Structure formats: C-alpha cells, structure tokens
Chains A and B, each alone.
Chain A
Amino acid sequence: MTITTQKPLVRIEGLHKYFGPHHVLRGIDLTVNQGEVSVVIGPSGSGKSTMLRCVNLLETISAGRISVGDQLIGYREVNGRLHDLKVREIAAQRREIGMVFQRFNLFPHKTALYNVMEAPVQVKGKSKSDAKKAALELLDRVGLADRANHYPAQLSGGQQQRVAIARALAMEPELMLFDEPTSALDPELVGDVLNVMKDLAKSGMTMIVVTHEIGFAREVGDRLTFMDGGVVVESGDPREIIANPQHARTKEFLSRVL
C-alpha cells in the first residue's frame, strides 16, 4: 500500500523469551522496513504480544537481539559482551517508540488533552502552550478535538483508544507498536480506530500491528506474519498469504477467523 524505502528500521533476530520455565518465544526473526506496516496475527498464546512488548522492553529479552534504527534495544555491546542499559537509557530508547495497548491505559485522572500533553511536557520539556497546541492538533487528527476536556471515563472505548494513539504520537516516535488495539472494543467502534490507523499508515509511519483484524492486514499491511507456538510460521505479502496460505496451521487459523 505505502511506498517503502526498503531501509530496515526494526530488526528482530533470534528472539527468545522465557517466563520462568515457559519458553514463550522460540527464535523470532522479523525485519520491518522504514514506512512499512507489519501485521502480526496468530492464536492467543502464540507469543505475538510478548514479541511486541520486547521491542520497547516492557519484557526483558532472554536471548537474541532487537534493534530499532541504529540502536540495540536494552543493551550496550562492549567488546562482544552485552551490558544492561540503565533505566534512564531505556527510557530514552522508548521515547522513539510509541505504543498503543489493548486496554488503552489512558491516565484516568487526566483529561484527554492532558493525557496527550503529559509526555511532551514532562519528558521532552516542551512548553505547556506548545504542547497544548500540538495535542489539540493530534486530537483533531483522530477526530476528537471536541473531546479534549473529557476524562477517559467520559469517553467510549473507541474514543479512548484514539486518544491513546494521539498520546503516543505526541512524542513524535519513529515507530508505532499496536498491541491488539481493537480487541477490547465493541464491534461498532472498531472501524473508527482502524481508520485512524489507516491514515497513520498512509502518512508513512512505520508500524507493527498485532491484531485479529484480517481485513486491516489485507487492506493496509505491507507484510503479514503468522505466529504460532512462539515461532514465525509464515511471513510475506498479506494478500497472498490470506488468499493462499502455505502452511496447514496458517490455513486452519485463517479459516477460523475469516
């Protein structure tokens, strides 16, 4: 859909994740080019959300490497040995990566406007008036300019999720992660959120989207990855995979969700 420059922005190489004895990710490789929309699907428990959370270090990386741009996520490599980054350095890496959660996670004690302004003011040190202007523009972009002074509890799920997208965009990230952004929404509210995501994709944002929305993958995705049991089963052009899945497991999954 979008014109990609074929310059890799995200590289996930040999990613493993253990939760105690559970081997959740068993060697994931995934590359996302600049401006690309990479859609990840798979049954629940397949590890797709865990993989996404590793990209901005909400989960530690048990084995393997993730890099975004020229930055190795979570570590510094000195003489072939990995050193953990300090909390402050991790925070700096996260500033370049926006994340949208399944359960929105808006700050309930702040209005939509202040949710969006919070990080630019507190993290980037922007002036309140600049941050407010930018936040109102972002809220307008997600169709919620008239809801700026509403608290999250006064907004529908779809509106909350769009505020959450605006909040992530306010940090001007180079990469956006979407962790099942429409799974907690009533069916009639899904469309508004997907439309905002489509617009974002058109604007050239690099996106990794974990979702169950096959229609979104087909329409907007540049690449579709099917995960199951902690491994990548199949990855490629979304329209080809959906029309003609190569693996039995992919076929079975698609037959159930389509």
Chain B
Amino acid sequence: MDHHQPGHAAPVLNDAVPVRHPGRWISAIVIVGVLALMVQSVITNHNFRWDVVGTYILDVKVVQGVGWTLLLTVASMAIAIVLAILLAVMRQSDNPVLRYTSWVWVWFFRGTPVYTQLVFWGLIAVLYPKISAGVPFGPELFSVDTSTVITALVAAILGLGLNESAYLAEIFRAGLKSVDKGQTEAAEALGMGKGKIMWRIILPQAMRIIVPPTGNETIGMLKTTSLVLAVPFTLDLTFATNALANRIYLPVPLLIVAAIWYLVITSLLMVGQHYIEAYYGKGVDTNLAPAVINPAAAKAAAAVAPSAEAEPSLKMDFPEDEAK
C-alpha cells in the first residue's frame, strides 16, 4: 500500500504552465459593461419612481399582503403534500380501487386549469348552499350553510392545495420508485410491516429525490397564489399592490414592490430547501473523504512504516483534520 520510498527525498512537484482562458476575460468585460448600462438606466430613469417604491415597500397593506400570501402558500402546500403522499402510496397499492382513484384524481386536477378550479371553489356555495351529513337516503345528522364553512380563504386554500396535490403526487411517485427494490426486501426480511417500511425506510430515501422538485413547486405556488382573485380572495400581495397602484395611478413602482417581496420570500424558501436537502442527504450526499473511513489504520500504517523519515509525507496522504 505504500508507494513511498522510505528514506528518499520528497518528490519535486510538477510546476506546469496552466492553459490560459482569454474567453473568460472577454465575457466578463462584456457582461460587466451591459450590467453597468442597466444599473445606470434603472437609477436615472425617473419613471421607475424609486421614491414611491420606498414609500410603499413597508406599507401596512403590502406587509399584510405578504402575510396572506405566505399563509396561502404554506397552507395549500401542506394540504398538497399530505394528499400527495396518500395519492402516491395509493398508486402503488395492491388494491385496484385505490390505484384507479389516485389515477383519476391526478387526471382531473392536473387536467383542468387552476384558475377554473379557483372560480369553481368560489362558486361552491351557489352549487351547494348547505353542507349536510347523513346516511344516504336516510336521516340527516347535521347541516351548515356552505358560505360559513367555505369562506374565500378556505376556498382559495382548497383550490390551490387540491390542484397542487396532483402535481406533487407524481413527484412523490417518482421518488418512491427511485428507491432500490432491495431496500423493501431487506426490510421485509426483517419482518417489518408495510407502513413501517414506507415511513422509516422508503420515504426517507425517496425524500432525496422529492425535495428539490417540491421546492420548485413551493416557489411556483408562492406566485400562483396571485390567482386567488378568481375566488375572489382579495388580500394577497399581488391584489394589495395592484389596488394601491390603481389608487395612485403608478403601476410600475408597485409592481417593483411586489417583485421585491416575492424575491425575498423565494430566497428564504431556497435557504430552507438547502437545509432540508442536507438533512435527507445524510449518509449519501455527505462528502465522504477516504480519510474518514480509517484514520486509525492510517496511523497504524504510518507507525509500521520501516523508516521514521517517511512519516511526515505519510501524514500528508491522510489529512485527518478533514475527517472531522
């Protein structure tokens, strides 16, 4: 295992002239130039009205709009994720009824526009003025007015969440399928039940595949919430900034206000996604330097090396500090 010649001098490292990359310099100059022009125009063009952006960026209505947009995003994604896990597991079930139900759900909610679905949820109280539960053709157990249960907020969350569940179900299905069959077999051979195998063995591994596209979907959802005026739900960020813009006849600065807030939230979501990915990547994505495997053996090898002079160079081969 030892390629060193104990007792000999350390080798002279090659000092080669690296390849030059003039293309990098040219592209950098071009891009910096274009950027400078854009920045100059954005600053000097008075039509951007940065003073108005400054006035409204922390306006109460805008900040509340951010809050509602976040609530819509989080709540509808939560519903969508729970439904998607259920749908993906149903799709893999031995039970054909569950399999087909899952397929039809995805077919329907993916196959109609989210705008249409939101309008539909807004009109649900017209279709069904009362919600009641009871035995089919038998007595009624309870009954409530639909409009008190399905408020505009609930309609918006349901509309976004159910639509999204169809897309997420496909992402989860792909994730579950990506896990090697040997994992299920190993867990089965240990006598684990189906539920435990799914929750403890398959899903945690599938999450590595599921998280990146789900992060993508969450960012997409953040912006899809601007469609809730179809319900109509009128408190979200886009509606709030539009309303302000219409009042002061200045659409551009308020579009910038909205864009800034969407960018800020997206950036925060990306940070969150980074940590979730790191969590589910443990044992697989973590950089496993060879030194991690066996620092003790490396030391032992160094100790039995025939010459003491060889030791300093051996240490360079096994950077134990990197192992931590």
Q: Which residues of A contact B (CB under 8 A)?
A: 56, 58, 87-88, 91-95, 97-99, 101, 103, 105-111, 118-119, 122-123, 146, 150-156, 164, 167-168, 171
Contacts and interface: CB of A to CB of B under 8 A. Distances in A.
Residue with the greatest number of chain A CB neighbours at <10 A, chosen from B182, B190, B194, B200: B190
Contacts of B196: 122-123
Q: Label chain B's interface by main secondary structure.
A: helix
Interface of B: 180, 182-183, 185-194, 196, 200-201, 204-205, 280, 282-284, 286, 288, 292-293, 296
B197 to A, nearest CB: 9
Nearest to A153: B288
A88 B189 CA distance: 13
Given A103-B182, A122-B200, A94 B188 contact: yes
Nearest to A111: B283
Contact of A105 (B182, B280, B286): B182
A110 B187 CA distance: 13
24 contacts: A56-B189, A58-B185, A91-B193, A93-B191, A94-B188, A94-B190, A101-B186, A103-B182, A105-B186, A106-B186, A107-B205, A108-B205, A108-B283, A108-B284, A109-B204, A109-B283, A111-B283, A122-B192, A122-B200, A123-B193, A123-B196, A151-B282, A152-B283, A154-B292
A119 B185 contact: no
Contact of A168 (B190, B201, B284): B190
A105 B192 CA distance: 15
Contacts of A123: 190-193, 196
A122 B192 CA distance: 8
Contacts of A91: 188, 191-193
Nearest to B180: A105
Contact of B284 (A56, A105, A109, A150): A109
Given A93-B191, A105-B186, A151-B284, 18 more contacts: A58-B188, A91-B192, A95-B191, A99-B186, A105-B185, A107-B205, A109-B204, A109-B205, A118-B190, A118-B200, A122-B196, A122-B200, A123-B191, A123-B192, A123-B193, A151-B286, A151-B288, A155-B293
A167 B190 CA distance: 8
B175 to A, nearest CB: 13
A92 to B, nearest CB: 7
Contact of A88 (B182, B190, B193, B284): B193
